Structure 1
């Protein structure tokens, strides 16, 4: 799931941290200790946000124990960070207590340009070709690799086969068809489509991509171009038709509205598929966000988390060794991480191809569609550039101003944020 949306939601779990010395778990505080009493020369502090999927914390602890068993001179402390992980991480990175290794959602260039993260080209070695190009591009700054993608969170449109079939509606392949389907499927008891409690979610971003645009291209913000304005403005049709589910008890990343029949179409993620299959069997299908119009581009959004090494830490070499061991060399751990505690796609092509749960049914279809239509936000995009765009989109769908002017003003603010990433 996109990191910026998940901090206080489905992954909002309380936790603690453990120190692993030669495979043994020892309770400790969340502050780096810089060593251990049992003889390890180095103690790594590894930060993780608090995943909501059961078993994730225990899995990270097991991986850490296995690493220390293979490298007895390096102890690993896994610090499980509840609440607003991004804010806590950013604050920590300004201090001497910053973690040696940390995961980052939606990696941005600014981390590398500020000298905060270490280049990992040597750690990739010959395995570089086994990572998807989009994930390599995400962590590349000036030709160097500054992180290793841990999971791909794929997001797509779910639809109820039986409900659409009963209404005589084909799975929508264009935005016009989606609007028409959502309107036709809206009843007194349900709405046709759920994209988020605010009625926006990621749709403004999806519309830009689906009409052949980019959020940022060659350092220039692209969501105020004529084709972007056209596509984003069209979202107002869904609101005018009152076909969107708003203010549900859970948000778009939880499949409750879909499985409870409150909305027969919902934008959600691969992580929700096991719960959907359990509730509905095979009475669901998946689609990319439709092309804005004929000749446009369908979109499967791809987010996820990236493992980074603190370039300003005291244990850079040991930290690089840990990241290389876990996220580059240990494909079995990578598959376990993606399949056993939620549902994600391993960023390594060989790991994804051999992940059993991804080889059949709707999961396999998701992997195939993501390879064809997957789109990641550029690594110059962060909350500072995304917030004004979302605010402008909210005003547009509410009819509160001229769309072109609103997006132009938002693009000016976003450009300043992008410029900061690039300097």
Structure 2
């Protein structure tokens, strides 16, 4: 598993941003960059061009991200005569697993849409739904500006442009730990000792909202990488590994220990994802396993009572071959429909210019703490928490992708149900992994028949 390059670059970058005299969202261009002109109507006015952008910035905690997108839309419309862009906001899980999937099956996705990498991208390429961005990125001089297109590359062609990076790990309340003489744990035993002490003081060790099953699987994903190694999922896919292998089973057994000892917040199965963050930012729990996208509510002084007390660390070592690896990369992107007119394609190119440039990426980093997808010349003046997150990434042994960007849909769905059942006491690690292995073998066999 190769190490991602972006933090090596961003941590060592200079502290002075070399901005040109261009606008925040425009490039430094003295001509139209070969983008052409829109067709004109019979009255000499530009012919109307319509684009729809499906985005997922619909939560209260995503207002700043939505404002950035709205600014990009306004700048794009200003550059393209006759262009009108409609923003269609949909909750991210609904977009990924329901709406976009149905639109792809029918062959009528929006012109621009939030796209998840890995399996999703490969499926849509196979269905011939995605625009090949390889020549466009070359034309716009962007091919070498990004850290990685790996999760959006199929057959050597690029089908998605990452918006930002992400990192998953363990957030902790620095003040709460210090007040009770607890050092940030470096090993699993130290983490369990800290949890036991906190529990004895009637403090919830871990915030958790398990109603949204994907939330549970962030932590268990990292745990099985710790115990079985970063190549575990690849082994499941090629048949060289099994969910029932002792080192895989170990992770689920240790997760069950957290459940049985009452280290997660009460009633987690009834709580939606936002409640996990609410518990942590209100000082109701000492730890929270989450992704860097959680930075916004954590650092919002109007919402968070622990703005100056948040720390971030990689999940402590568990004594396995995956210790030191971190779940991180670039899984979310904008994708584009293959079924667009020449005028729409011209407008899409302008949207890409306005969205993907250093000022915009830096704005995301400073305002939202979103690790950049593009190579920046400056990452100075970021919040200390963001600096810590980047440092954790930089010092990791390497990264691994989220399992749900790689594993088959039926296996993912089975794991999501099973983990909720484990939390509810309706299954155990041995039965859970045995059932998962059956689903894995069936999914692998189905894939081999369709190749």
Pairing partner for 2:400 from 368, 375, 395: 375
> Which structure's CA Rg is the greater one?
2
Could you tell me how far apart the structure 1 residues matched to 2:193 and 2:151 are?
Answer: 35
Q: For residue 216 of structure 1, give the secondary structure of its aligned residue in structure 2.
A: helix
Kindly report which structure 2 residues correspond to 1:231-270, keeping only aligned pairs within 5 A, or say none. Answer: 231-247=251-267, 251=273, 254-270=276-292
For residue 378 of structure 2, what is the aligned residue in structure 1?
354
Superposed CA offset, 1:119-152 (max 9, x none): 212233353333223xx22112222211011122
Change (3 A) 1:156 1:110: same
Task: After superposing the two structures, state which structure 1 stretch, 400-409 or 287-296, moved more.
Answer: 400-409
Query: CA offset at residue 207 of structure 1?
Result: 1.1
Pairing partner for 1:206 from 196, 218, 222: 222
Could you tell me how far apart the structure 2 residues matched to 1:82 and 1:256 are?
Answer: 19
Task: After superposing the two structures, state which structure 1 stretch, 390-399 or 114-123, moved more.
Answer: 390-399
Could you tell me how far apart the structure 2 residues matched to 1:415 and 1:319 are?
Answer: 45
List structure 1 runs of 4+ shifted beyond 6 angstroms: 34-37
For residue 67 of structure 1, what is the aligned residue in structure 2?
76
Change (3 A) 1:223 1:369: farther
Q: For residue 411 of structure 1, give the secondary structure of its aligned residue in structure 2.
A: helix
Could you tell me how far apart the structure 2 residues matched to 1:35 and 1:205 are?
Answer: 54
Give the superposed CA RMSD.
Answer: 3.4
1:228 counterpart = 2:248: yes
Change (3 A) 1:201 1:186: farther
Q: Would you say the 8 A contact 2:51–2:84 is kept in 1?
A: yes
Query: CA offset at residue 267 of structure 1?
Result: 1.6
Unpaired runs of 5+ residues, structure 2, are 1-38
**TM-score, with length taken from structure 2:** 0.73
1:307 counterpart = 2:334: yes
Superposed CA offset, 1:99-136 (max 9, x none): 11111235522121221212212233353333223xx2
Q: Would you say the 8 A contact 1:196–1:246 is kept in 2?
A: no
**TM-score, with length taken from structure 1:** 0.77
For residue 22 of structure 1, what is the aligned residue in structure 2?
none
Task: After superposing the two structures, state which structure 1 stretch, 75-84 or 283-292, moved more.
Answer: 75-84
Could you tell me how far apart the structure 2 residues matched to 1:185 and 1:354 are?
Answer: 40
Q: Would you say the 8 A contact 2:76–2:351 is kept in 1?
A: no
For residue 280 of structure 1, what is the aligned residue in structure 2?
306
For residue 85 of structure 1, what is the aligned residue in structure 2?
95
1:407 counterpart = 2:433: yes
Superposed CA offset, 1:219-265 (max 9, x none): 43756143212222211111121111133666367532123222111
For residue 131 of structure 1, what is the aligned residue in structure 2?
146
Q: For residue 184 of structure 2, give the secondary structure of its aligned residue in structure 1.
A: coil
Could you tell me how far apart the structure 1 residues matched to 2:231 and 2:99 are?
Answer: 30
Could you tell me how far apart the structure 2 residues matched to 1:288 and 1:132 are?
Answer: 21
Change (3 A) 1:273 1:231: same
Query: CA offset at residue 382 of structure 1?
Result: 5.9
For residue 3 of structure 1, what is the aligned residue in structure 2?
none
For residue 209 of structure 2, what is the aligned residue in structure 1?
196
Could you tell me how far apart the structure 2 residues matched to 1:297 and 1:173 are?
Answer: 11
**Structure in which a larger fraction of residues adopt helix:** 2
Q: For residue 151 of structure 1, give the secondary structure of its aligned residue in structure 2.
A: coil
Q: For residue 392 of structure 2, give the secondary structure of its aligned residue in structure 1.
A: helix
Could you tell me how far apart the structure 2 residues matched to 1:69 and 1:376 are?
Answer: 38
Unpaired runs of 5+ residues, structure 1, are 1-33
Q: Would you say the 8 A contact 2:366–2:381 is kept in 1?
A: yes
